[in-house]
């Protein structure tokens, strides 16, 4: 059969399923970076490529499947990555599964492949459960392009020795070793931004508190891949070679892509999607100096750690337009943090907050309730800490055993109940099911989390700070945000 396209990459739609009512206006809509990265790499090899972003185009699985068939590709690939690089992949699997099922009903002969963080963490389980022909483990660059070559040559694809490729042969799963990492990231092409509906993306609400009604002109890029740390709740290493480690793009290469985005798409709001941007002072300062010299009017946010940030970094970051830093404080209690391999003391936290705020950078503070050693007192200690620092914004998460993380393996070993559906791993879905702790049930953790969210953002001291710093429009925005009540299926959590 003739094909109109070599490769069609798909970001399956799941906003409503994963974020509930928050999906309509509060949630950011991020470009599917890994779709665009693989597309650019495969296109550079000479293949024709398109992308369907079902989230941005608000397509449900049936609509997505119909659109895939119309493109008539040689290979359709679903890329399962979320806006949070280490946590938001698994909740997308429900939509991915529904898309694959719908696709096979319409065109059962169409070859499909799935990859990303969740499939890389659970390749055998994914291949057994999903209606898919192939799976790629790891980043997927050469795995996908090598498979395309075999398919194009009409080679028999039941005995493929392609690194990273998983498939079934006579009902038996065949796996190949995970491919070697590409160490020279500058050798990779920029993401295929031209294949994405760039006008449809919008930044997170807090990212744009300085211009709350202008959340468009948004892009995300990476300046590094991987993370040298090994926190128990994080699963990012599953995407790479399973071990802590980090690879860097050169500052020149990073700023070249920023320049391209600004000149071709008028990008204003930008996210550095690295697991940890603020790690090497000389490199961070080099990137920031180049951005400042370029004269770009950017509003950037990035991830940092309290034990790697420096004063010089914060000063240069602010000059470059990095207006927000996301810190993973996780818990105010040292023993709770130690239990998940997050080891820093209160003075380190205090110093990081002080130097960040002194530089004029806002803080997006991330906290996790329900870590293994949490009880009601330690969770209250965390909420009190958040209120005391009065951060410009805070995310309150419930602890989840994301596939590929240490917490997932420990939960399986201990027989702890995990979500029945993949979107049950979402923090905001009706079916969410957080982990219990050594002292608390899942219900107690979830109820505390939801109470903490309301208490933090309804705090008069917080609303006063927001109004003084960002104006009454943002204060009104926060109050409107609080009117959205997250639906929880507590009966399901209690089972």
**Is the torsion defined by CA of 276, 280, 285, 291 positive or negative?**
negative
Mean pLDDT of 278-303: 97
How do the domains of the chain map onto residue ranges?
Answer: 5-175, 196-399+434-494
Exposure of 456 in the CB half-sphere (CA atoms within 13 A): 26
pLDDT class for 19, splitting at 50, 70, 90?
very low
Kind of pairing between the strands at 111-116 and 218-221: unpaired
Structure confidence at residue 87 (pLDDT): 65
Return the structure tokens found at 443.
Answer: 């219900």
pLDDT of residue 141 exceeding 60, the answer is yes
Per the CB < 8 A criterion, the answer to whether 17 and 55 are in contact is: no
pLDDT of residue 26 exceeding 80, the answer is no
Structure confidence at residue 82 (pLDDT): 81
Return the structure tokens found at 95.
Answer: 């939509």
The per-residue pLDDT for range 175-197, each reduced to its tens digit, is: 999 999 999 999 999 999 999 99
Rounded Cα distance, 239 and 318, in Å: 31
Indicate the range of 174-178, 283-287, 407-411, 423-427 predicted with least confidence.
423-427
The per-residue pLDDT for range 29-39, each reduced to its tens digit, is: 999 999 999 99
pLDDT class for 17, splitting at 50, 70, 90?
low
Q: Indicate the CATH number for domain 5-175.
A: 3.40.50.280
Per the CB < 8 A criterion, the answer to whether 54 and 92 are in contact is: no
Secondary structure of 28-79 in HEC code, one letter for each residue: CECCCHHHHHHHHHHHHCCCCEEEEECCCCCCCHHHHHHHHHHHCEEEEEEE
Structure confidence at residue 27 (pLDDT): 81
Q: Which residue in 3, 30, 2 sits closest to 14, CA to CA?
A: 30
Structure confidence at residue 381 (pLDDT): 98
Rounded Cα distance, 278 and 272, in Å: 10
Residue 256 burial (CB count, 10 A): 15
pLDDT class for 242, splitting at 50, 70, 90?
confident
The per-residue pLDDT for range 474-492, each reduced to its tens digit, is: 999 999 999 888 888 766 6
Per the CB < 8 A criterion, the answer to whether 176 and 150 are in contact is: no
Residues 6+ positions from 9 with CB-CB distance below 8 Å: 35, 38, 39, 49, 50, 51, 52, 76, 77, 78, 79
Exposure of 233 in the CB half-sphere (CA atoms within 13 A): 24
pLDDT class for 1, splitting at 50, 70, 90?
low
**Is the torsion defined by CA of 312, 346, 236, 301 positive or negative?**
negative
pLDDT of residue 281 exceeding 90, the answer is yes
pLDDT class for 301, splitting at 50, 70, 90?
very high
The per-residue pLDDT for range 97-113, each reduced to its tens digit, is: 999 999 999 999 999 99
Class of domain 196-399+434-494: alpha beta
For 223-338, where are the E strands, in sequence order? Answer: 224-227, 245-248, 269-272, 299-304, 322-330
Please report, in angstroms and rounded to a whole number, the separation of the first and last CA atoms in the chain: 50
The per-residue pLDDT for range 315-340, each reduced to its tens digit, is: 999 999 999 999 999 999 999 999 99
Rounded Cα distance, 117 and 428, in Å: 20
pLDDT class for 86, splitting at 50, 70, 90?
low
Tell me which of 430 and 96 has the higher pLDDT.
Answer: 96
Q: Which residue in 216, 234, 236 sits closest to 226, CA to CA?
A: 236
pLDDT of residue 20 exceeding 60, the answer is no
pLDDT class for 419, splitting at 50, 70, 90?
very high
Angstrom distances, CA of residue 301 to CA of 207, 248, 335: 7, 18, 29
**Is the torsion defined by CA of 194, 198, 204, 210 positive or negative?**
positive
The percentage of the chain sitting over the pLDDT mark of 90, rounded to a whole number, equals: 86
Q: What is the mean pLDDT of the chain?
A: 93
β-partners of residue 5 are: 73
DSSP notation for 77-144: EEEE--SSTTTSSGGGHHHHHHHHHHHHHH-TTSEEEEEEHHHHHSHHHHHHHSS-SEEE-SS-HHHH
Per the CB < 8 A criterion, the answer to whether 435 and 399 are in contact is: yes
């Amino acid at each position: 059969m003739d094909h109109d396209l070599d490769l069609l990459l798909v970001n399956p739609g799941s906003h409503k399923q994963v974020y509930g009512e928050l999906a309509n206006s509060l949630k950011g809509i991020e470009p599917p970076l890994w779709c665009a990265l693989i597309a650019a790499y495969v296109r550079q090899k000479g293949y024709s490529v398109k992308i369907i972003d079902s989230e941005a185009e608000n397509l449900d699985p049936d609509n997505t499947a119909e659109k895939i068939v119309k493109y008539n590709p040689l290979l359709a690939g679903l890329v399962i990555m979320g806006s949070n690089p280490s946590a938001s992949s698994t909740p997308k699997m429900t939509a991915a599964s529904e898309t694959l099922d719908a696709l096979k009903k319409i065109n059962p002969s169409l070859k499909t492949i799935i990859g990303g963080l969740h499939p890389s963490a659970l390749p055998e389980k994914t291949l057994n459960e999903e209606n898919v022909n192939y799976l790629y483990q790891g980043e997927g660059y050469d795995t996908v392009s090598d498979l395309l070559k075999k398919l194009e040559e009409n080679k028999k694809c039941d005995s493929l020795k392609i690194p990273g490729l998983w498939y079934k042969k006579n009902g038996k799963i065949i796996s190949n070793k995970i491919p070697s990492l590409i160490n020279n990231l500058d050798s990779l092409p920029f993401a295929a931004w031209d294949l994405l509906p760039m006008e449809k993306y919008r930044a997170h609400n807090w990212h744009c508190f300085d211009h709350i009604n202008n959340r468009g002109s948004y892009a995300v890029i990476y300046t590094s891949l991987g993370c040298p740390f090994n926190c128990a709740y994080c699963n990012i290493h599953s995407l790479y070679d399973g071990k802590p480690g980090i690879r860097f793009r050169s500052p020149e290469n990073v700023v070249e892509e920023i320049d391209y985005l600004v000149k071709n798409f008028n990008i204003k709001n930008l996210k550095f999607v690295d697991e940890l941007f603020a790690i090497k002072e000389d490199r961070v300062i080099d990137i920031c100096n180049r951005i400042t010299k370029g004269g770009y009017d950017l509003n950037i946010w990035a991830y940092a750690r309290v034990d790697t940030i420096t004063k010089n970094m914060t000063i240069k970051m602010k000059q470059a337009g990095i207006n927000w830093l996301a810190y993973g404080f996780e818990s105010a209690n040292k023993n709770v943090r130690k239990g998940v391999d997050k080891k820093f003391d209160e003075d380190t936290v205090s110093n990081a907050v002080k130097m960040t705020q002194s530089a004029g950078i806002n803080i997006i503070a991330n906290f996790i309730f329900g870590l293994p050693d949490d009880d009601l007192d330690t969770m209250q200690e965390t909420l009190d800490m958040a209120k005391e620092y009065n951060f410009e914004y805070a995310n309150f998460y419930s602890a989840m055993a994301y596939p590929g993380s240490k917490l997932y393996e420990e939960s399986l070993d201990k027989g702890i109940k995990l979500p029945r559906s993949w979107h049950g791993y979402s923090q905001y879905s009706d079916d969410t099911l957080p982990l219990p702790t050594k002292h608390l049930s899942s219900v107690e953790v979830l109820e505390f989390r939801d109470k903490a969210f309301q208490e933090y953002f309804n705090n008069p001291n917080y609303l006063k700070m927001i109004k003084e710093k960002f104006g009454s429009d943002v204060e009104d925005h926060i109050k409107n945000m609080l009117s959205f009540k997250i639906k929880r299926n507590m009966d399901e959590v209690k089972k």
